[in-house]
Amino acid sequence: MRLLQMALLLMLTTLPATSQSVADTQWVGGVVPHHLLVADEIERFWQEAYQRSAADIIILIGPDHDNLGRNVVSTRDDKVTYSDHSITTHLPYIAEFFRGATVVPMVMRSDGTKQQILQLAHSLRSQYQGHN
């Protein structure tokens, strides 16, 4: 199932530190291409994201183009994550616009099932819900 044809960016951002409740967590997301043929569009996305949000955690999910990951989802602990251009294309933009933000990169093989994608979404929501 080829559900991820483009890099999916999910940015997690929070309201000011004075607001501590889970309800104050704001998720912002976008679908962004990862080929430099459209570098102007990629840069425009990151500029607009920066203007709208002061994200301190950026969750970047892209396709594992060659299905090299040992698992359906590979994380920053797996070297395949940093070798796929679906992730590496975005890193300079994130470094420029979101200095100091934590990047949580992941790549997903094309044989991932809908259930596995839903489990990933649930896991991310649980892990970052109420993030300050």
Local confidence pLDDT in tens for the 132 residues of the chain? 333 333 333 333 332 333 333 344 566 677 787 888 888 989 998 988 888 877 888 888 888 888 998 888 998 777 888 888 899 999 999 999 999 888 999 999 989 888 888 888 888 888 877 654
Cα 107-110-66 angle, rounded to 5 deg: 70
28 within 8 A of 38, measured Cβ to Cβ: no
**Whole-model pTM above 0.75?**
no
CB atoms within 10 A of CB 67: 14
Instruction: Label the pairing between strands 57-63 and 102-108.
Output: parallel
Which runs of consecutive H residues, i.e. helices, occur in 53-130?
79-83, 85-88, 91-97, 114-128
